[in-house]
Amino acid sequence: MTTRIEARLAQLKKEARSAFVTFVMAGDPDPETSLAIVKALPQAGADIIELGMPFTDPMADGPSIQAAGLRALKAGMTLRKTLAMVRSFRASDDATPIVLMGYYNPIYIYGVEPFLADAKTAGVDGLIIVDLPPEEDDELCVPALKAGLNFIRLATPTTDDKRLPAVLANTSGFVYYVSITGITGAAAADAKAVSAAVSRIKGHTALPVCVGFGIRTPETARSIAEHADGAVVGTALVDAVRGSLDGEGRATAKTVSAVADLAAALAQGVHGAKQAAE
Amino acid sequence: MTTIRPNSFRSGPDERGHFGIFGGRFVAETLMPLILDLEKAYAQAKADPAFQAEMDGYLKHYVGRPSPLYFAERLTEHLGGAKIYFKREELNHTGSHKVNNVLGQIMMARRMGKKRIIAETGAGQHGVATATLCARFGLECVVYMGAVDVERQQPNVIRMEMLGAKVVPVQSGARTLKDAMNEALRDWVTNVHNTFYCIGTVAGPHPYPMMVRDFQSVIGNETRVQIQEMEGRLPDSLIACIGGGSNAMGLFHPFLDDPSVEIFGVEAAGHGLTQLHAASIAGGRPGVLHGNRTYLLMDEDGQIQEAHSISAGLDYPGIGPEHSWLHEIGRVTYLSATDEEALAAFQLLSRLEGIIPALEPAHAIAKVMELAPQRPKDHLMVVNLSGRGDKDVPQVGDILRGKKS
C-alpha cells in the first residue's frame, strides 16, 4: 500500500522537483487559526505538512518551537484535538501528506494502538517521534508500520556509517536528515556538508532524503534543495505566527497570511532548485 | 497485572536498560551514538581494577569517606522506639552524597576524553559537586539551574561561581529542575562532540540510572560493614528521601536481597497529595520523559505537570526508573512527607542532635518521627542524612521569621 507521502515524493521525483516540507505547531496560536494556517499551506506551495504535537518538555527544540507548543497548550490543544484537526483538513484535501511530529509521552498516554487507529482514520500518513531511536522500535515504530503509517526517522551528523543501517532499517516514507547537531532553529545549515551527508545516506537507502533544522530563508532553502529530495522549514514559519500576534498573544487578521506569504516565498526557493540544477 | 518476582532484586537493568517496563533509552538520535559509547566505556571501566582503585583513592582522601554511621541517641530517646542511626553523607566534601556520583562520572569523562562538563541542578548540591570536581581536574563546567531555584538556593549559586563554573538560569517552563534538565539536554545535543553530561540522579537514558546507582552504592556498602561492626547484625529498616532517588538507591541497593530489611523511600508531598506536590509514585503514573520510562506527574493528555516542594532538590515530577520498578514489585515502600512535616523535622533535628539537615533529608527524618515510635527499642533503623542544611538556612530563616510575625 502506498501512502500519500510515498505517492507525493514519487510524483515530485518524476517532475525533477524537490519537496517543500513545512512544519507548524498544531493549535498555535489557537485551534481555529491553526487549522486555517494548515489549510493555506498547500496553496502556498507546501508539498508535505508536518504538524507538531504540542508537548510541555520538547527537549530537542529551540525557544521558538518550545514557545509555539506552550501557546497551543495554553489554548487548550490536546493530542485528541490534533487528530480532529487532521480530520477537518482531510475534508477538503485528500492529497497533501500529513506527518505528525513530536515526543512519545502524549502518544504513550493516549495508548499506542488506539492512537494508531485514530491517526490512520483521521488521515495521518506518517510519524516523526524525536525521542524514539531504533533501540526503542518495539514501542511505536513497528506497530505504526503494521498500521500502514510511515515511520520517518531522523538521521544526524553523529549517525555514522556503522549506525546508519540500524537507523534506516525500519524507516519508511523518507529519511529526515538533521543538518546540524543541535536544537531546532539554532545554527544555519551548510549546503556543502549537507550535500556530502545526503550522498552518504543515499549510499545506504533508496528512500528520498529531506533535510531540516537550520533552513530559514528562500536562499538557504534553494541551496539545500539542490542537494536533497526535500527541504523542511519549521522555526521560520513558527516565528511568522508569533510575529503576527497581538499584545496578548492572540491571532490577528494577518496571522494566516503572514505564514502563507512566507511559505510561498520559501516554496519558490525550493521549487526553483532542481529545475536550475537539471 | 501480576509481576513475577525475580531471584535477585539487584540484577537489573537488562541489556536494553530496562527495569521491568521502566528505564530504556528515549533520546534523540543525535545523542544515541554517544550513549552507546558511554555504555561501552562504563562496562570497560567497571571491569578495570585501576579505575576502582583510583576512585577509592579520591573517595578516601578528597571526599573524606567512609562517612560515619552515627547513633542518634537523643532523637532515639525523644521518639522512644527504634534505635536510629544516621549515615552521615552530609559530612562529605561539598556537603552531600552528590559528590560520590560526580567523582565517578568525571573519571568517566576523563577516560572518554571529554573536556567540557554540563550538569543540571535543583538544590545546587549536584551543581556544587560538579563544579568542585571540574575545578579539581581542570575541566570546563556549565550548570543549568531553574531561575526559581537560583533565587531560593543563592548560597550554592555563589559557591558554584567561586569554583569557576558558569551557572545558567533557565527561564523556560516552571523554571525548576525539570526545565534545567531539558536545557542541559539541549546543550548536550548541540555540543555532543566535546561534552559529557554529568546527570545528578538515578534517572535519564540507560546507562545513567545504573551507573549513578553503582557510584552511589558506596553508601549502602559502607553501611553494611559499619552496622555489623557496631551492632553485629544488619539493620531492620532503611529510610531515605527521594527526588530522582540517588541517595536512596545508594543506601538501598546493597540491601535489596536481604528480606529482613524493610525499606522506605520518602517523596515530597509539598502542600499535600491532593494539592501541589512532587510525589511521582503517590500521585503519578508511568510515562516517558528525559530518556526513561518511569512514574511521572502529568495530566490526562500526557503533558508533564509542575511539581512543588519546599525543597528544590526534590522538586521534580519524576523518579528514577529502578525506584518505579521496586515500587511495582513491592520491595520498597514509598511514603511521602509534606513541606510542613519536613520543616518540623528540620527544626527538631537541629535542636536535638546539633545537626542542621538539608530540607531534602528532613523529609526522611519526618517519616522517622512517624515510624520509629511504632518500632521496638531493638529495631535498628538507618536513615540517610544525605545533605547538610547550610544552603537552606536563608530560606528556612525567612519562613520561620514570617511565621513568627
Say whether pLDDT at B263 is over 70: yes
B393 interfaces chain A, CB cutoff of 8 Å? no
**Sequence-separated (6 or more) residues with CB below 8 Å from residue B369:** B79, B341, B344, B345, B348
Number of residue pairs across A and B with CB atoms under 8 Å? 116
Query: According to the model, what pLDDT value does residue A190 have?
Result: 85
CA dist B94 and A36 (Å) reads: 56
Query: According to the model, what pLDDT value does residue B3 have?
Result: 57
For residue B143, the SS3 value is strand
Query: According to the model, what pLDDT value does residue B314 have?
Result: 93
Say whether pLDDT at B1 is over 80: no
Is the reported ipTM for this assembly greater than 0.90? yes
Closest-CA distance, B15 to chain A, in angstroms, reads: 11
For residue B215, count CB atoms less than 10 angstroms from its CB and return exposed for 0-12, middle for 13-18, buried for 19 or more. buried
A94 interfaces chain B, CB cutoff of 8 Å? no
Q: Do B33 and A159 touch (CB under 8 A)?
A: yes
Q: Do A154 and B29 touch (CB under 8 A)?
A: yes
pLDDT digits (tens, 9 = 90+) for A217-228: 999 999 999 999
Interface test with chain B among A55, A59, A61, A154, by most B beta carbons within 10 Å: A59
State the average pLDDT over residues B244-273: 97
CA dist B363 and B314 (Å) reads: 10
Average pLDDT of adjacent 10-residue blocks, chain A of 278 residues: 94 95 98 98 98 96 94 97 98 98 98 98 98 97 98 94 95 95 82 93 97 92 94 96 96 98 97 66
Of B28, B34, B302, the CB nearest to A105: B302
Residues in chain B closer than 8 A to A108 (CB atoms) = 287-288, 293, 302
pLDDT digits (tens, 9 = 90+) for B148-162: 999 888 999 999 999
B174 interfaces chain A, CB cutoff of 8 Å? no
Query: According to the model, what pLDDT value does residue B405 have?
Result: 42
Interface test with chain A among B18, B25, B30, by most A beta carbons within 10 Å: B30
Q: Which of B393, B98, B382 is nearest to B254 (CA)?
A: B382
Which positions of B are annotated as active-site residues? Answer: 98, 120, 386
Distance of CA A20 to the CA centre of its chain: 10
The strand order across the sheet containing A48-52 reads A150-151, A126-129, A98-102, A48-52, A19-25, A230-233, A209-212, A175-178, A154-155
Of the pLDDT bands very low, low, confident and very high (cuts 50, 70, 90), residue B5 is low
Closest-CA distance, B201 to chain A, in angstroms, reads: 18
Say whether pLDDT at B2 is over 70: no
Phi, psi of B5 (to 5 degrees): -80, 125
* Alpha-carbon torsion (B358, B364, B367, B371), positive or negative: negative
CA dist B403 and B269 (Å) reads: 20
User: For residues B116 and B175, which has the higher predicted lDDT (pLDDT)?
Assistant: B116
Of the pLDDT bands very low, low, confident and very high (cuts 50, 70, 90), residue B403 is low
In this structure, what is the dihedral angle of CA atoms A141, A143, A146, A149, given to the nearest 10 degrees?
A: -50
pLDDT digits (tens, 9 = 90+) for A108-166: 999 999 999 999 999 999 999 999 999 999 999 999 999 999 999 999 999 999 999 99
Partner A, chain B 6-25, Cβ-Cβ below 8 Å: 16, 24-25
From the candidates A6, A28, A50, A226, which is the catalytic residue? A50
**Structural domains of chain B, ranges and CATH numbers in brackets:** 28-58+98-205 (3.40.50.1100), 66-95+213-404 (3.40.50.1100)
Query: According to the model, what pLDDT value does residue A182 have?
Result: 85
- How big is the CA angle at B184 (ends A153 and A25), to the nearest 5 degrees? 50
Q: Which of B305, B266, B309, B257 is nearest to B285 (CA)?
A: B305
A214-228, B194-208, B289-303: the lowest-pLDDT one: A214-228
Q: Do A60 and B303 touch (CB under 8 A)?
A: no
State the average pLDDT over residues B80-85: 98
**Structural domains of chain A, ranges and CATH numbers in brackets:** 4-277 (3.20.20.70)
The per-residue pLDDT of chain B, averaged, comes to 96
Query: According to the model, what pLDDT value does residue A226 have?
Result: 94
Q: Do B304 and A57 touch (CB under 8 A)?
A: yes
B194 interfaces chain A, CB cutoff of 8 Å? no
* Alpha-carbon torsion (A125, A127, A128, A133), positive or negative: negative
